[in-house]
Structure 1
Amino acid sequence: MQQSLKTAGVLAFQRSLYATDAQFYSVLPHQQEKPVWVIRHGIRGTQNVNKATEKEFSNIQITDTAKLDPTAEKMKVVFDIKFFDLANSLFACAKGKKDKEKDTVKKFRATYDAFLTRAKDSHGLKEVVLRYVRNCTNGRWLWRNLTLASTATITVVKNDETEHGLSFDAVALSRKGFTDYTADELALAELFVANLQGYATDRFRVTALLDFGMPGVQVYPSQLYTSNKPKGFARPLYAVGAEEPVRTVEDVMHFQATRKMGQAALRDDKVANAIRTIDTWYPDYESIQRPIAIEPQGVSLELQERFRIKKASAFEIIQKIDELDPDSPNGMFMIASLIRGGVYSGE
């Protein structure tokens, strides 16, 4: 039985897939557009937690919300995505403090380069990219907003070449599996693959147009985690751009009941997480029956579970990269893990 390849003590891969924030716009009558604002305001709700006493009824909070313009029934959400040559993915590879073998780094670099050569022209790479395409076109990256929409159309254009853009019905495309790719998905995948192979350096703009069937609905940008938040503060939402300045206390004739915090958006890492939710190769997939994001140990925050432990983890699989078939389930998972990037140091 072949021994595992010893990885370098210092080993890291840079991402080959970059996504920007996805910004929200209200689509007004006559196709005019304006930003969806995150608004900070106060609310007086009801007390409905177990620790409430019999005398507590009100729940006074400061919170953020985002709503479409009162005249808008549709919302546009836009982000850009770019792929980089896999040949540049190895960011750091050096001898660690505990490395005793002189040729560890040299051996790993040679083995890794050989795997990339096999992977770049493999069916495995094309399948990984087709799954990225499916998650762009099925609107998985829209998260909760997609479930509220009656229709959702997604267009993808390359380098602002709008006349050659591809259009997809997001609601009609599956979010449970990766089969029955359309001709347009196959065509888009070829463009993505060319960038990962180093034959092109394109930028792709992904635009979703959601119809909610009623004006002024509340929509859902990313929710931010904060530690030590002020008492009575409920939640902050992600916004881009400068917030509206706070008026002075002396300006009592213009009391500020609400404040614009910036344009509503989904964070870039939330968008990227949705796009790389393609792992159906993990051991428990047959019983779970849902894809998880590409993570070295298969950690799913949604399911609160680690699905790739021991030999199924990327840390173990990379030690077999010299004999890894890029068309195999482990090979495709490894390709997607390299595109994701991460630290795989042996120490």
Structure 2
Amino acid sequence: MAKNKNTASVLAFEKKMVPSDGYMYGTTWEDRDNLAPLKLKEKSVRGTISNRLKKAVQDDPVKLNKEVEKANLQTVDTCALEPDQDTLVLRFTLKFLGGIHRPSACNNADFRQSYSKAAQTYVEKTGFTELSRRYAINIANARFLWRNRIGAESIEVEVKALNKGAEQQWKFNAGAYSLRDMEIGDNEIDSLAQRIAQALSSDDDFLLIDVVCYAKVGKAQEVYPSEELVLDKGKGNKSKILYAVNEIAALHSQKLGNALRTIDTWYPEFNDPTQGIGPIAIEPYGAVTNLGKAYRTPKAKQDFYTFFDAWANGDALNEIKDEHYVMAVLVRGGVFGESDK
């Protein structure tokens, strides 16, 4: 592909939605003031051989018996509530920042001016209301619990705005909100979305919120912190390492951010029941790594760069949903320069 002379070779945007790590505690549904940090525990287990075997082994009963007799010894990290606890508590802070019209780095003055004009026009036209409502929905529905959301009897989310002089509180019954519907709204969601929109559309303001989520999962039930990526599997004696901060089980900030920005219902396959999987996380190519698929390809001209290069240079996009998608990628942040080689 030929280089676009109207873009910048150095171009970066700081993320405008910044979550902390999520810290995990145990308590009871009726006595929520008594929180105890959840600790990781080490467990050694004797598993069975369950992986696919070579055809020669599959077809020979003697070889198969010898293979399955082998001990599959594993040492893993686990995390669970105590026997007297039935509720998981996840707590994190989340900051929304203004200044979307300013790249953090850009070495092309003409492009910077053109982009800034396009961004300011978007803010004036939409007030960031659509994106902010979708972020608010993902806070309300507790999507950020990931696997911990499955099988929970009740989930409540308490949100507090911490800005001095502008404190505010919201409370949500997460089970009342679908994970697939980005068009829902009520007074509480609209109120939170309005505060988020004020921050995102501002020149240099911010919103800092504290999010506390209570999930009644059952006494002594296992819960699921983030799993660490083991780059060198030849070292160490554990086959699964979970994430903890100061000995408190936790979710990565990146995992929380991925859940909160799962708002893309504008990709082509969304309305195709054989292909669409509900909202996907905002990504330049619509990447869903666990499915090994990119839902926004340059060939289909639905990727971020196709839209961004035209829009940032003053060309109108066909639909407002494409502008929403572009701005959501910029809220995500990243390095988007085009090589000058």
TM-score (norm 2): 0.86
SS in 2 for 1:318: helix
Which residue in the other structure is 2:40 paired with? 38
Task: Report the CA distance between 1:163 and its aligned residue.
Answer: 8.0
SS in 1 for 2:175: helix
Task: Report the CA distance between 1:89 and its aligned residue.
Answer: 4.5
Which residue in the other structure is 2:287 paired with? 299
Query: 1:89 touches 1:339 (CA, 8 Å); kept in 2?
Result: no
Task: Report the CA distance between 1:266 and its aligned residue.
Answer: 0.9
Residues 30 and 17 of structure 1, relative CA distance in 2, 3 Å threshold = closer
How much is the aligned-residue C-alpha RMSD, in angstroms? 2.3
Structure 2, unmatched stretches of 5+, are 58-63
Query: 1:77 touches 1:207 (CA, 8 Å); kept in 2?
Result: yes
1:49 aligns with 2:51: yes
In the alignment, residue 39 of structure 1 is paired with which amino acid?
A: K
Which residue in the other structure is 1:279 paired with? 264
1:336 & 1:167 partners in 2: Cα distance?
25
Which residue in the other structure is 1:234 paired with? 239
Task: Report the CA distance between 1:231 and its aligned residue.
Answer: 7.2
Q: Give CA-to-partner distance per residue, 1:29-50, whole Å, 9 cap, x none.
A: 7431111111123122333334
Which residue in the other structure is 1:186 paired with? 190
SS in 1 for 2:248: strand
1:87 & 1:113 partners in 2: Cα distance?
9
Query: 1:297 touches 1:307 (CA, 8 Å); kept in 2?
Result: yes
Which residue in the other structure is 1:115 paired with? 118
After TM superposition, where is structure 1 displaced by more than 6 Å over at least 4 residues in a row? 160-163
Which residue in the other structure is 2:6 paired with? 6
Structure 1, unmatched stretches of 5+, are 95-104, 242-261
1:202 aligns with 2:194: no
Query: 1:12 touches 1:342 (CA, 8 Å); kept in 2?
Result: yes
Q: How many percent of aligned residue pairs carry the same amino acid?
A: 28
Query: 1:5 touches 1:320 (CA, 8 Å); kept in 2?
Result: no
How many residues are aligned here? Answer: 313
1:61 aligns with 2:53: no
Task: Report the CA distance between 1:313 and its aligned residue.
Answer: 1.1
In the alignment, residue 10 of structure 1 is paired with which amino acid?
A: V
SS in 2 for 1:278: strand
Q: Give CA-to-partner distance per residue, 1:193-246, whole Å, 9 cap, x none.
A: 11112274221011110112x3111000111211222476321111111xxxxx
1:318 aligns with 2:308: yes
SS in 1 for 2:281: coil
Q: Give CA-to-partner distance per residue, 1:299-322, whole Å, 9 cap, x none.
A: 111322111111211111111111
Which residue in the other structure is 2:175 paired with? 171
Query: 2:128 touches 2:200 (CA, 8 Å); kept in 1?
Result: no
Query: 1:86 touches 1:339 (CA, 8 Å); kept in 2?
Result: no
TM-score (norm 1): 0.84
Query: 1:124 touches 1:328 (CA, 8 Å); kept in 2?
Result: no
Which residue in the other structure is 2:61 paired with? none
